[in-house]
Amino acid sequence: MQLKPINQQVVAVVGASSGIGRQTALQFAAQGAKVVVSARSQSGLESLVREIQNAGGVAVAITADVADFAQVQAIADKAVEVYGRLDTWVHLAATGVLATFDQITPEEFQRVIDVSLMGQVYGAMAALPHLKREGRGALIHISSMEGRRSVPLQSPYSSAKHGMEGFLESLRVELQHEKIPISVTSVKPAVINTPYYNHVRTKLGVKPTGIPPYYDPKLVADAILHVAEHPTRDYIVGDVGRVLDVLQRLSPGLVDLLLLLIAFPAQRTPEPKSEDAPDNLFEPMAGYDRVQGDFGHLTIPSLSDWIRLNPAVAIAGSVLGVAALLAAAAFIKPNQI
């Protein structure tokens, strides 16, 4: 399966007004892709399109709530209307509620599923006919490590991400059976420093946080651009995510114990926040149309991501390291050992 170079692609980025989506749209445009950006926040989309165009890129925007299939379908149709085709669909839109399960209402739980799971389903439904007509393309769905391992206080979000993984596995095999060269990728970030924890509804009594450490949104955007050119099944972002993946496979009970010890205090900040404070669960929330969140001081680099995106450099470094050791050994006299 071969995908087009990014500078020849038409890309739809859904959930683009802030965080990973905003960073991803900026990077696609900077590398020459024609971009359609979508989210509920009109102000965020307008500022994003201005930023892309001021840097010499090409972008158009369309506001949409991904819980409504007709609005999602309009995003794909917009790409074809403006640019004549669609090559890559990147779906990031998500929301959540941080609370114990018994504090969450049926309407709140359903809304998270509607946005974070059904929105992803609608995205694939809207994009697939256009990708099939082109004869190739990429569906890139931004899941989470919570699709591999659920976290307490986030049961709706974890449920949505687990559901997404099941949906993508089924869809991938169906496309393989039809011999249609469309890449289906699940990108699973660890905790990323975006405004997500400013947006979500919380019933913890304080501003919520992810379980540190955090990673920079650019790491996820780099992964998305990579899989847009290189067909990939799953892509975990963040060293901690890869460690968690191994631990969950080896011993779910051990991960239960670790989360029991750290997850409840680690998802609370000292900053008070009322249950009635504004959030983006049902309506867009103004003031956070930016890439970065509030936890830059907890952000760390990821060696495994660097190695995955720079394999030739990593291999060359390993070879040089071995060569240096051999050279040093050659100069050591036997009586020095």
Residues tagged active-site: 157
Tokens of 38: 């979508």
104: nearest Cα among 29, 50, 159: 159
CA 21 to chain CA centroid, Å, is 8
Does a cis peptide bond (omega within 30 degrees of 0) precede residue 213? Answer: yes
* DSSP-assigned letters across all residues of 119-159: HHHHHHHHHHHHHHHHT-EEEEEE--GGGTS--TT-HHHHH
State the burial class of residue 150 (Cβ atoms within 10 Å of its Cβ: 0-12, 13-18, 19+). Answer: middle
Backbone torsions φ then ψ of 8, nearest 5 degrees: -110, 5
* Residues facing 182 on adjacent strands: 137
The sign of the CA dihedral 303, 305, 311, 312 is negative
What secondary structure letter does DSSP report for 35?
E
The single residue listed with the structure tokens 């769905």 is 141
